[in-house]
Amino acid sequence: MADAEAKERRILVAVDEGEESMYALSWCLKNLICESSKDTLILLYVKPPRVVYTALDGTGYMFSSDIITTMEKYSNDVAGCVIEKAKTLCRDLQNVKVETKVEHGDPRDVICEMTGKLGADMLVMGSHGYGLIKRAFLGSVSNHCAQNASCPVLIVKRPKSTAGSN
């Protein structure tokens, strides 16, 4: 398109604590973002719902409020850490606006919902999505989003050759 560079695209990148989502973000920065465009990059992290913590407790006992507070703090720390890491990857962007968003809930639903709410033109995510433990409970996030997001979804799989590098 002749006007592709003038178009403002809103690109939503779903990040999590896995290396694959950071690879997806890097790939996006290298291959999709044009400095000359007016793109807005939105970094989204979804904190897991409490039901996941409960499910981890196989004993049938309820967690005490102390443990829940500790896990909430841990969850917030992870969110902060992931968002910081993602922002660091974006630090060299000059004309691109970078926004961050931390939400709470089932990542499959939240990510799809946010594509609509944030008016995203494209969603970028890793193919595994949302960590090994959460994936075991929640299934493939990327497959779900590809079918249910309100915009096109770019699924970035980390090449095997770099899978062990960090």
Which residues of this protein are in contact with its own copies, per CB under 8 A? 1-2, 4-5, 7, 9, 24, 27, 29-36, 121-122, 127, 142-143, 146-147, 149-150, 152-157, 159
Neighbours of 72 (CB within 10 A): 13
- Nearest residue (CB) to its own copies, 66 versus 92: 92
| 121 within 8 A of 10, measured Cβ to Cβ | yes
Query: Shortest Cβ distance from residue 152 to its own copies (Å)?
Result: 4
- Nearest residue (CB) to its own copies, 100 versus 127: 127
Query: How far is 118 from 94, CA to CA, in rounded Å?
Result: 22
Query: Shortest Cβ distance from residue 127 to its own copies (Å)?
Result: 6
User: Which residues are within 8 A (CB) of 24 and not within 5 positions of it... i.e. 6 or more apart?
Assistant: 13, 124, 125, 126, 154, 156, 158
Query: Shortest Cβ distance from residue 137 to its own copies (Å)?
Result: 19
- Nearest residue (CB) to its own copies, 75 versus 140: 140
129 backbone φψ class: left, alpha, beta (φ>0; ψ -120 to 50): left
- Nearest residue (CB) to its own copies, 20 versus 106: 20
